[in-house]
Structure 1
Amino acid sequence: MVKPVPPDTEFTIRELSKEFDVTPRTLRFYEQKGMITPMRRGASRVYSAMDRARVELILRGKRVGFALDEIKEMLDLRFIDSRDPQVLEAAIARFESRINVLEQQREDVERALEEMHAGLDWLNARRHENEPSEEIKRRARAFEALASARLEDWTGMPPSSS
């Protein structure tokens, strides 16, 4: 977690690049997209605490799957101040849609983790030359079926039988 900084703190492009592990080119791209607005001192860019906070939000949004245009729209707080019901309804719909997608992804990850743990249990039992329990065998078969189905989805071809 990145620590809050006093509002009057300033940063160089090098400092922000290092702090967030991004390239200076990435920060210039965000500037070009209008997502951050550093001040200029001669040829140098000087980033404010607000710019730094926006970079943190941009990167967090990217990690959870938002497109840059969606992040830019969320950073543009004008829609929050809008009294136009259509603007607010559209923003609410986008947020609800993204929440639904993220919740489904979380379910998928949790299910995949359960299946991976079952596979690991089965492998550990095999390594110790123990006969796996019926529950482990059942979960391993479920894992194999899921892996097979996903392989077919990704490749468009049924898995080869070995």
Structure 2
Amino acid sequence: MSGQTYAIGELAQHFDVTTRTIRFYEQEGLLSPERRGKTRVYREKDRVRLKLALRGKRLGFSLIEIREVLDLYDTRVDGSVRQLERLLEILADKRANLERQLEDIRIMQRELDQVEERCKGALGELRDR
């Protein structure tokens, strides 16, 4: 096999993560570097998978969702279509959750505003005595 290879330290530095993070993703089956003795040798495929996994994590994807998308990425027959369709489903779900959270935040802000006004009113009454 030829092509660009990476040491674990190079990937960690490139993505600004710890080597422990990379080993975790390897342990979870998201990365599969070659072994040369005790040395891990990562290929371009591993670099791309790590990039996608880290991006998924930042977007709030669960480990199961990240694995599912990566597995679809690896599927040869119509994998990219299936991957994109599933990714769109996951994104729609994430968007719906964010919308619910935003509404919860707006409600909480209104309730806090009401409590704050009552507190200010009560404080004003106490000071006027």
**Could you say if the C-alpha distance between residues 159 and 44 of structure 1 is closer, same or farther in structure 2, counting changes exceeding 3 Å?**
farther
State the partner residue of 2:59.
64
TM-score (norm 2): 0.65
Match of 1:100 among 70, 89, 92: 92
Counterpart CA distance in 2 for 1:66 and 1:56 is 13
State the partner residue of 2:125.
none
Counterpart CA distance in 2 for 1:12 and 1:97 is 34
Match of 2:30 among 35, 52, 62: 35
* Secondary structure of the corresponding residue to residue 147 of structure 1: helix
* Secondary structure of the corresponding residue to residue 31 of structure 2: coil
More helix by share: 2
AA in 2 matched with 1:24:
T
Higher relative contact order (CA 8 A, sep 6+): 2
Ranges in structure 2 where 5+ consecutive residues have no aligned partner:
121-129
User: 1:20-47 CA distances to partner (integer Å, 9 max, x unpaired)?
Assistant: 1111111111111110101111111111
1:54 paired to 2:53: no
State the partner residue of 1:10.
5
Q: Shift of the alpha carbon at 1:159?
A: 4.4
Counterpart CA distance in 1 for 2:25 and 2:31 is 6
Aligned-residue identity in percent:
39
Counterpart CA distance in 2 for 1:13 and 1:51 is 11
Counterpart CA distance in 2 for 1:55 and 1:30 is 8
Counterpart CA distance in 2 for 1:106 and 1:60 is 21
Q: Shift of the alpha carbon at 1:99?
A: 2.3
Counterpart CA distance in 2 for 1:148 and 1:107 is 15
1:147 paired to 2:113: no
Ranges in structure 1 where 5+ consecutive residues have no aligned partner:
1-6, 83-87, 112-142, 153-157
AA in 1 matched with 2:10:
E
AA in 2 matched with 1:43:
K
Aligned residues: 109
Counterpart CA distance in 1 for 2:88 and 2:76 is 15
Counterpart CA distance in 2 for 1:107 and 1:69 is 22
